[in-house]
Structure 1
Amino acid sequence: MRILSSSLIACSALLVGCSSAPYRGLPEPIALPESAEPAYDRANYQALPPGTAVVVRFSTEELKTKLMRQFPALASDRASLVLVEEDLVTAGQAFYRRIWFSYGDEATLTIHGTCGQNIMLWFTVTGELYGTFVDEMFCPI
């Protein structure tokens, strides 16, 4: 019984010590400049005109490197950058390869996740970068 009561006292002291610790506020998230993505529709590769091939010029790692050059904050140890998905989309009368990355500011991590932004890269079917589009910053509640 003594061992149990000693353990309870030690645990209680630990809890009191932790609950009286000062709150450590999270830093402000590092936000990338926003740019609106054009309106688009998802498409199937079968919808491409006959004889059209989508050229892929960059690997995922090369795309991450390009994004880190464009947005230096992504190269910090606070940033995580994850490929989410790739789609074929149409905007106007043109087809684009749309690559979606998710950026998370790891310094803002809570039990609900990190603050972050979605980054979309659009490429023409010939593999040229058409545009980089960044959603507004979101932080989980």
Structure 2
Amino acid sequence: MRCKTTSPPSSKVHWKKDGAPLSSGDPRLSVTDTGTLQIHHAKLGDTGFYSCVASGPNGEASWTAYLQVTDSEVHAVHPADPNGIPGAPLKPEVTDIGQTSVTLSWKSNPSAWAPPSSYLIEAFRLVTFSSHST
């Protein structure tokens, strides 16, 4: 299963099966330098949901495909574009500041392989302390 990122080279790709990290101890599994997951000699126990997770300076994105292994065939059901995962949006801009809220806006990244399915916005507050000894 291919997983291609559009982020800088500092991006890292890892894979999960049914929500759990893939075991690096299984010699049948390998991940190429480009992020492609290879399963050699697929067996019935390999059936499940496989997620490619890419993380980098702009955040994290993932896509999931279902792999079904039967006695005679292997079927993979991919998202619309199995070659890539959603890209990060362009730089957000503050469009309004209220007493208890901030409104942000951003545009989708036109070079992304697929549109994001959701966004996660985190807010942090900088708190400084000073200590004075007398």
**Alignment TM-score > 0.5, same fold:** no
Using the size of structure 2 for normalisation, the TM-score is 0.28
Q: Which has the higher helix share?
A: 1
TM-score scaled to structure 1, two decimals? Answer: 0.27
